[in-house]
Amino acid sequence: MPARPLVLRHLGGVLFGCFCLLTPHANAQEGPEKQKRPDAFRQLEELLPTPSATRTASGAPGHAYWQQKVDYTIQVELEEEHRQITGLEQIRYHNHSPDSLRYLWVQLDNNRMRPSSIGNRIAGAPDLSSGMSFKSLHRRLIRDSFDGGLHIGWVRHQGQELHTVVNDTMMRVDLPRPLPPGGQFEFEIQWSFQVNDSSQVGARTGAEFFPEDGNWIFEMAHWYPRLAVYDDVNGWQNKVFLGSGEFALEFGDFDVQITVPADHVVAATGVLQNPEEVLTKVQRNRLAKAMELGQDGPTMIITLEEAKANEASPADGVKTWHFQAQHVRDFAWASSRKFLWDCWGIFSGDPQTGEGHKVAAMSFWPKEAEPMWSKFSTHAVVHTLQVYSRYTFEFPYPTAISVNGPVGGMEYPMICFNGPRPEPDGTYSERTKYALIGVIIHEVGHNFFPMIVNSDERQWTWMDEGLNTFVQHLAEVEWDEHYKGWWGEPSQITSYMLSEEQVPIMTNSESLLSFGNNAYGKPMTALNILRETIMGRDLFDFAFAEYARRWKFKHPQPADFFRTMEDASAVDLDWFWRGWFYTTDHVDFELAQVDWYQLSTLDPDYENNILRERRDAQLESLQHERNTPLPKRVDAYPELKDFYDTYDPLTTTSQQQKEYLKLLESLDDWQREQLEAPWQFYILTINNLGGLVMPVLIDLEYEDGSHEMRRIPAEIWRKNSEQVKTLVLTERPVRKIRIDPRQETADCDISNNNWPPDIKPPTRFELFQQKKNAKTNPMQEANSQS
């Protein structure tokens, strides 16, 4: 049987929206027409570093992967009255690299608090347009005069002074002879510094004074000289600390002895080695009970009454707290006589096999943080460990601690500092409550990114903040109903993505504009879209956990993340990384045209009837209507009439009828059935006005009001990233078509997404005004009805 083309009945095309169809975007350049169109699906090889034996093309560490190891033995003493720290550290540097090293770089990040630091000198101007108070002038002057830098007493190797050079927050230690691959080098540093009063100089470390009782809380971070990272990507990561880019550090083992006033309580990274010397028998018994598995909440180790008594009468003398920590990239601690303390022992591991270990989840806080902290803090710590472990790996450390003090929110291995507190009368707003829970989840969550999956924070803020904020969101939605919709809705990021002053996510930490949106909001939204809309939860969750597992206790780079997510899912995401991480394009699809067709039955009677109906349904033109009653010459002289006066071109001729019957005979059963099938063909023309390619999500609303969702992968744009046409074939007529009706893709302008177009939806302002103009609120309305 000869192939016969089917005939389609065109029911009309609907064109609307912007007629200057294509808006040029960032990639469009001057030049010959044929070079203009950017390829959104071009693979990323030219942007990513070449795979190597250290980092493979799959995104995993290669067979030759190496990283340095640095072990520290530190004795440090806190002198409270003058807020003075003096320390002595012994560093064992293990050179696992294939290179000989002639010098080592040591970070002195506290030097950021020297008046002459680069970070201080390049700070932007304050806003003086509304004046300046004496208080802020005072603070400003203190910031310009306070020297919080690390004062190096000496740097020695086997008793011999080593030559050093300090460049702002970086110190080069010249080695007596090159350190060969596989070699070890031990040296000692003696140092001291004054702790910043956080009411005057804010930082990620500091001391807070409580005038009512005359006591301090110390939260100590970057308090000792720390080795910079030497790796296969940067060589030395020795960019000076300007104040935004956080830290890049090597893993190692710590043995730290902290000497503080005798009545202080110390919380620190690692496990306390000498509880007999620093804790009372009662405290030790309580701790033992708290660590028995199966407790249904935290146990108080130091109660409110005990903390009040402790802070009221300072004791004489000092005590030394001894901690050890393995496989950590840093060490932080907090000390005060004001602390309350609770602990909840939980199991981290496989409950089926019993393989795993105990974790002490603990919190330390002053009475000023009650009653919020005893209610929420340790619960939030445990919740974080449980949820994050599900999405990454079992929490490997023995402790996880949340401390309240001067620092608003900052993370270190096993310990973090969180600021929110209730009002002085103990009440707190709902907002403070969720701020506290949110910040604890966030900071404890940083144990996973970047404390264990140890990305380079100085270079890439998004790798720890973006990933962590994303998992934070997953943990928050499992806390309570309130968290629904707080973060990660693609619609929340659209205004930022439209803005002109943007830099790509792949920008160095110190150069980021709009830090919060760029390093937290946009990457976390991107991951959320990957999970919900592009990959689906199963594929995404496996790949994300695989990245965490591969790079646990290692130093991943952006390419390792990008490659692993593809490697573990078989989803080509180069277009997504390119658009979302390397450009500032946004998403804006426009449903520019819909053409609607049906199959012709080929039955001339039937088809002519339809055409006649359509013809008759058309409104008569005004002119025609007015001319109709006019007397006609052919009526006055009927002899003028002929064949054409009664001829209707829509009347089926017998010839047409014969041909139709002949045709039917030539068709088989299936083909004959198709002629009567109710197929509806809609050709959608979609313009990409924003530049980012994304899946095309099509919602069909049928005439009976039911909906159907058709999801077309982003690859539909592979041959033309500016305009695509797609066929939607249905069995029933559709009365409305919407692109991305649930706002999954961060489409920045949804007013051009519908067919037929909507009446403009009310703005936020108009909604508010309507609400305001309504005389009653919903409660009053409900009351008046009852």
Partner 1 sequence: MKHALLLLFVLPLLGWHHLLTTIAEVSFNADSGYLEVALHCTPRDLEATLSKDLKRLIRLDQEKNLDPLLEDYCNRHFQLLDAEGKQVPLLWVGKEIELRDAWLYFQLDVDGKWQDKTLYNDVLANLHHKYMNTVRLQLGNHKPRSLSFDAKHPQRALSPDLSGQNPSFSRQFSAILGE
Q: Smallest distance from the beta carbon of 439 to partner 1, in angstroms?
A: 6
> Considering only residues 243-262, where is the footprint of partner 1 by CB under 8 A?
244
Residues 6+ apart with CB under 8 A from 474: 387, 391
Residue nearer to partner 1 on the CB measure, 400 or 410: 410
Rounded distance between C-alpha atoms, residue 452 and residue 549, angstroms = 10
Q: Smallest distance from the beta carbon of 336 to partner 1, in angstroms?
A: 14
Q: Smallest distance from the beta carbon of 449 to Zn ion, in angstroms?
A: 9
Q: Does 133 bind partner 1 (CB under 8 A)?
A: yes
> Considering only residues 417-436, where is the footprint of partner 1 by CB under 8 A?
419, 421, 423-424, 429-431, 434-435
Q: Which does 351 bind (CB under 5 to 8 A by kind): partner 1, Zn ion, none?
A: none
The DSSP H or E segment spanning 614 is helix 604-617
**218 in Cβ contact with 78 (< 8 Å):** yes
> Considering only residues 454-493, where is the footprint of Zn ion by CB under 5 A?
465
Q: Does 764 bind partner 1 (CB under 8 A)?
A: yes
Which residue of 368, 457, 546, 595 would you call a contact of partner 1, by CB under 8 A?
A: 368
Nearest to 540 by CA among 554, 526, 551: 526
> Considering only residues 239-258, where is the footprint of Zn ion by CB under 5 A?
none
Rounded distance between C-alpha atoms, residue 319 and residue 260, angstroms = 6
Q: Does 637 bind partner 1 (CB under 8 A)?
A: no
Residue 241 vs residues 167, 172, 234, 633, 736: alpha-carbon distances, Å: 11, 15, 16, 98, 56
Residue nearer to Zn ion on the CB measure, 461 or 533: 461
Q: Which does 749 bind (CB under 5 to 8 A by kind): partner 1, Zn ion, none?
A: partner 1
Binding mask of the shown chain, residues 505 to 544, with x at each position contacting partner 1 by CB under 8 A: --------xxxxx---------------------------
Map tokens 């949804």 to a residue: 750
Q: Smallest distance from the beta carbon of 442 to Zn ion, in angstroms?
A: 5
* Window of 54-62, 118-126, 536-544, 559-567 that interacts with partner 1 by CB under 8 A: 118-126
Residue nearer to partner 1 on the CB measure, 13 or 516: 516
Query: Residue 655 class from Cβ within 10 Å (0-12 exposed, 13-18 middle, 19+ buried)?
Result: exposed
- Residue type at 733? P
> Considering only residues 18-37, where is the footprint of partner 1 by CB under 8 A?
18, 23
Identify whether 450 is preceded by a cis peptide bond (ω within 30 of 0): yes
Which residue of 500, 645, 648, 665 would you call a contact of partner 1, by CB under 8 A?
A: 500
In angstroms, how far apart are the furthest CA atoms of the chain? 132
Q: Does 373 bind partner 1 (CB under 8 A)?
A: no
Residue nearer to partner 1 on the CB measure, 294 or 485: 485
> Quick one: angle between helices 522-529 and 574-582, nearest 10?
160
Rounded distance between C-alpha atoms, residue 165 and residue 637, angstroms = 117
Q: Smallest distance from the beta carbon of 749 to partner 1, in angstroms?
A: 5
Q: Is 431 left (phi over 0), alpha (psi -120 to 50) or beta?
A: alpha
Which residue of 117, 169, 198, 336 would you call a contact of partner 1, by CB under 8 A?
A: 198
Residue nearer to partner 1 on the CB measure, 221 or 734: 221
Q: Smallest distance from the beta carbon of 472 to Zn ion, in angstroms?
A: 8
Residue nearer to partner 1 on the CB measure, 154 or 768: 768
* Window of 165-173, 199-207, 224-232, 600-608 that interacts with partner 1 by CB under 8 A: 199-207
Torsion of CA 274, 222, 230, 515, to 10 degrees: 130
Q: Smallest distance from the beta carbon of 339 to Zn ion, in angstroms?
A: 24
Which residue of 139, 732, 736, 742 would you call a contact of partner 1, by CB under 8 A?
A: 139
Nearest to 116 by CA among 95, 147, 142, 140: 147
Rounded distance between C-alpha atoms, residue 161 and residue 489, angstroms = 57
Q: List residues bridging with 404 in a β-sheet.
A: 418
* Window of 278-286, 337-345, 437-445, 635-643 that interacts with partner 1 by CB under 8 A: 437-445
> Considering only residues 540-599, where is the footprint of partner 1 by CB under 8 A?
none
Residue 331 vs residues 48, 106, 253, 325, 336: alpha-carbon distances, Å: 33, 15, 10, 8, 17
**569: number of CA atoms within 13 Å, CB side?**
26
C-alpha 277: how far from its chain's center? 44
Q: Smallest distance from the beta carbon of 468 to partner 1, in angstroms?
A: 11
* Window of 136-144, 182-190, 623-631, 693-701 that interacts with partner 1 by CB under 8 A: 136-144
CA atoms 672, 676, 678, 682: torsion sign: positive
C-alpha 728: how far from its chain's center? 34
Binding mask of the shown chain, residues 454 to 483, with x at each position contacting partner 1 by CB under 8 A: -----------x----------------x-
- Residue type at 19? F
CA atoms 336, 342, 348, 353: torsion sign: positive
Binding mask of the shown chain, residues 205 to 234, with x at each position contacting partner 1 by CB under 8 A: -x-xxxxx----------------------
Q: Which does 17 bind (CB under 5 to 8 A by kind): partner 1, Zn ion, none?
A: none
Q: Does 692 bind partner 1 (CB under 8 A)?
A: no
Coil/strand/helix, residue 622: helix
Q: Smallest distance from the beta carbon of 446 to Zn ion, in angstroms?
A: 6
**412 in Cβ contact with 331 (< 8 Å):** yes
Closest CB to Zn ion belongs to which residue?
A: 465
Q: Smallest distance from the beta carbon of 541 to Zn ion, in angstroms?
A: 22
Rounded distance between C-alpha atoms, residue 237 and residue 234, angstroms = 6
> Considering only residues 38-67, where is the footprint of partner 1 by CB under 8 A?
none
User: Beta strand 723-730 with 680-688: parallel, antiparallel or unpaired?
Assistant: antiparallel
* Window of 72-80, 492-500, 692-700, 736-744 that interacts with partner 1 by CB under 8 A: 492-500
Rounded distance between C-alpha atoms, residue 223 and residue 244, angstroms = 17
Number of residues that bind Zn ion (CB under 5 A): 1
Q: Which does 584 bind (CB under 5 to 8 A by kind): Zn ion, partner 1, none?
A: none
Q: Does 408 bind partner 1 (CB under 8 A)?
A: yes
Coil/strand/helix, residue 352: coil
Coil/strand/helix, residue 627: helix
List of residues contacting Zn ion (CB under 5 A): 465
